[in-house]
Amino acid sequence: MDIFNFKCKYCGGELAEVDGLKSVGKCKYCGSKQTLPKLENEKRANLFERANHLRRNNEFDKAEALYEQLLNEDMSDPEAYWSLVLCRYGIEYVEDAHTKERKPTVNRMQMTSILGDEDYKSAIANADEEQKKLYEGEAKTINEIQKGILEIARKEEPFDIFICYKETDESGKRSRDSILAQDLYHELTRDGYKVFFARVTLQGKLGSEYEPYIFSALNSSKVMVVLGTKKEHFEAVWVRNEWSRFLGQIKKGERKVLIPAYRDMDAYDLPVEFSNLQALDMSRLGFLQELVEGVENILKTYKNKKEAQKSEPRETYTPTTKYKKKSSALPIIIIALLLVIGVSAAVIFGGGLLKGATPDRETEGEEQSSQGTDETKKDPLGVIPGQSELPTEYPTEDETKDLNENLPGTGSLEFVLNESVNAYTVTCDGAYRDESLVIPSTYNGKPVKFIGKGAFEKSTAIKSVYIPKSIVFIDENAFAEVNYLERITYGGSREEWLEVNISHAGNDLLRSENVDVDFEASSSEILSDNSDLIFIWAPNGESYLVGGISVFTDASHVVIPEFYKGRYVTGIADYAFSGHSEINMVYIPRTVSVIGKGAFNGCAYINSVYYGATEGDWDLIEIDSEGNAALLSAYVAYESNTDGEWSVIGTVGGTSWDTDLPMTESPDNVWTSDTFFLNSGDEFKVRMDGSWAVSFGEGGLNGGNIIVEEEGEYKIQFVYDPKNMKGDITLIPAP
């Protein structure tokens, strides 16, 4: 296929050949050098043209479907992979007013860096040398844009509700939708909610600057109301861009609710993607008040759940790192909404009642409990678990296969509540299939005291196990035929281990001389800051991995040590910190070479990574891109710049959070400012290299503003400990 019949993917102009190459071309109109698809036939070229046309018009979802079709036909075409990336990140090429060059803008910001995107990696793997240079150059530019968006977005206050609507009608005048949206905005803000309403929230910002604020609002909002008065308004490019991204977050398992609201149109004309959702008719009497009450119930439910999580460990904690998903809370939320707005709000759509948005997830079995004791077993702490308190039926081989076929390589832990002693028994929903097993000390805010009968029987993959000191009883056959068990790490002392009541039946390995037992409580090498970290043996049996956090904690930063018990810490296990959304900073030592799948899954607020070696060394770390989006997109301070230049910023010296006032370094990382007159109530922080990626304030790293209590002349002193990511700020009165 002649490239002269193919159009520029940036502007639609004609292409010219470049040095006789068929994989790249140059636009005669905009001058852009660009990669080309494999043009074996006219049909394929036409399909690419159609997809590129949709993408240039920012109809990314429609274009993505065509690129998927092209990729299915030829999975070796790098341009098909790259085009999918452009759709995923909503890349629009805008002409620079000065240089006339086409520069990318990001309209669909993702937490995953484009450099970690799997389709980008596939494009690079299938590209020739010329294409590879162009892909890598564009990706690097887009990655820098991502960092800029994140830096702005992180400064934004979180929103409760996002109102999605079309601002202008077909004639370019303010739409009726906008007026309805404004009424809703005023109702919700009067009730004290933080509401994203573009007409107000984006006021004074240029169109090219919208994305950081939209991205921040989409990520923080728990409810989106999509409203419209015409089918075309729901399908408008930028309206679809917002609600499709929000739906995408729901499909990934985030606890969010999307509520479509329509007026003077047929419910059947709503987007097909809303067919699972409860749509509301805005023309119904009392609609606005009922919607506000419904939203209030949703947010109240979310708030209660969030507050409960602050005092409870995560629902399921799958050792070594695999987490079993929680059953969705959304059906309960939708039921609460329906109770408020009434059944009359429901509409018939696509042949059935519109239902609440519920992402597909695995669900846990209900907690089981029963009474009874078994006096034949002695418990050193006076707790005697009865056989009737433990599971009596286990899956057959076929059932186990069915249970595990969709799990990522491991049977997941299950917990059975023993109400008589208010503690849990841990078992497994099938043969445990990972090399390292970590048992948590608590679950649902209650101790895990028992390992159930046959819990890990025939789990021949297990080589090492972490047993917390909360365990007082290990039932028969709990570790029967776990033939390759080599190491046990126990959370207490040697004396406490000897007191654990271990059934002799089928648990010989736990007392075997062939299995090494380490005792955490006897180690003097555990740093106080890391006392809550769990360490497990790496597959090589010679070093340690960080397996997670042993207790629920509100710690905002995690410091991973280089050594544990005299051996290197060489990796972070799969799902180690999954669900710990409180983390915003991680220190990773130079010894770490592997970061597993989902290690920081759900840690959306990570904004800084401190790495104890060079940028080149960081690039060599094997980081699984799945579930590590926040880590991959965070600001990384390398060894060479962890002791960068520090400055003071705030209402200091007549400034107003718009000027960095330099500090001077003296030995041992002590930084001191000039002398300032500070008023009572002045606020300030210190930050590195003039960036909010790394700052210290009240409470330490990335903490709140420090408030001056008494006016006077002061120097601000900052003592920095880069190895442990700590900093102390002191106001020193002038003599």
Please, what is the average pLDDT of the chain? 76
For 277, residues 6+ apart whose C-beta sits below 8 A from its C-beta are 258, 259, 260, 354, 355, 356, 357
Share of the chain above pLDDT 70, in %: 79
Tell me what pLDDT residue 83 has.
93
**Cβ atoms < 10 Å from Cβ of 418:** 22
Which residues, other chains included, contact 386 with Cβ-Cβ below 8 Å and sequence gap of 6+?
371, 372, 373, 374
Q: Which of 321-325, 489-493, 589-593 has the lowest mean pLDDT?
A: 321-325
* C-alpha span between 414 and 430 (Å, rounded): 10
As a whole number of Å, the CA-based R_g of the chain is 29
Q: What is the pLDDT of residue 226?
A: 96
- At residue 643, the pLDDT reads 59
pLDDT at 216: 86
Mean pLDDT (whole number) for 505-534:
65
- pLDDT, tens digit, for every residue of 148-188? 887 777 777 889 999 999 999 888 888 999 999 998 898 88
Which residue in this structure is represented by tokens 């009922």? 290
pLDDT per position as a tens digit, 192-243: 889 999 999 988 776 557 888 898 899 889 999 999 999 999 999 889 989 9
The residue ranking higher by pLDDT, 369 or 422, is: 422
What digits encode the pLDDT tens for the residues 363-406? 333 333 333 333 333 332 223 333 333 333 333 334 333 333 33
Which pLDDT value is given to residue 177?
94
User: Which comes out higher in pLDDT, residue 442 or 173?
Assistant: 173
Confidence grade of residue 693 (pLDDT, cut at 50, 70, 90): low
pLDDT of residue 637: 79
Please check the confidence at residue 270 and state whether its pLDDT lies above 50. yes
Determine the angle formed by the axes of helices 237-251 and 210-220, rounding to 10 degrees. Answer: 40
* Cβ 694 vs Cβ 659: under 8 Å: no
- Lowest-confidence range among 357-371, 494-508, 531-545? 357-371
Q: How far apart are CA 109 and CA 211, in angstroms?
A: 7
Residue 542 burial (CB count, 10 A): 10
Instruction: Work out whether strand 646-650 and strand 683-688 pair parallel, antiparallel, or are unpaired.
Output: antiparallel
d(CA 476, CA 128): 60
| Pairwise pLDDT comparison (326 vs 306), residue with the higher score | 306
- Which H or E element spans position 308? helix 287-310
Confidence of residue 262 (pLDDT cuts 50, 70, 90): very high
CA atoms within 13 A on the CB side of 388: 8
Res 394: pLDDT: 31
Going from the C-alpha of 459 to that of each of 90, 433, 464, the distances in angstroms are 45, 6, 11
| Residues in contact with 13: Cβ distance below 8 Å, sequence separation at least 6, in sequence order | 7, 27, 28, 29, 30
Query: Quick one: tokens of 361?
Result: 């997830």
97-101, 109-113, 154-158, 583-587, range with greatest mean pLDDT: 583-587
pLDDT in tens, 91-105: 988 876 667 777 888
| DSSP label at residue 265 | S
Q: Looking at residue 164, what is its pLDDT?
A: 96
Task: Please compute the mean of the pLDDT values over residues 258-284 and round it to a whole number.
Answer: 87
d(CA 673, CA 682): 16
The pair of structure tokens assigned to 473 is 């009883």
Q: Distance (Å, rounded) from C-alpha 606 to C-alpha 581?
A: 8
Residue 306's pLDDT is 52
CA atoms of 16 and 733, how far apart (whole Å)? 70
Percent of the chain with pLDDT over 90: 19
**Banded model confidence at residue 675, pLDDT cuts 50, 70, 90:** very high
Predicted confidence (pLDDT) per residue in 653-669, tens digit: 788 888 899 999 887 78
Choose between 355 and 704: higher pLDDT: 704
341 band by pLDDT with thresholds 50, 70 and 90: very low
Q: Which of 328, 324, 425, 445 is nearest to 374 (CA)?
A: 425
- pLDDT bracket for residue 583 (50, 70, 90): confident
Residue 636 and residue 691 in contact, taking contact as beta carbons nearer than 8 Å: no
Q: What is the pLDDT of residue 223?
A: 93
Tokens of 160: 């409760």
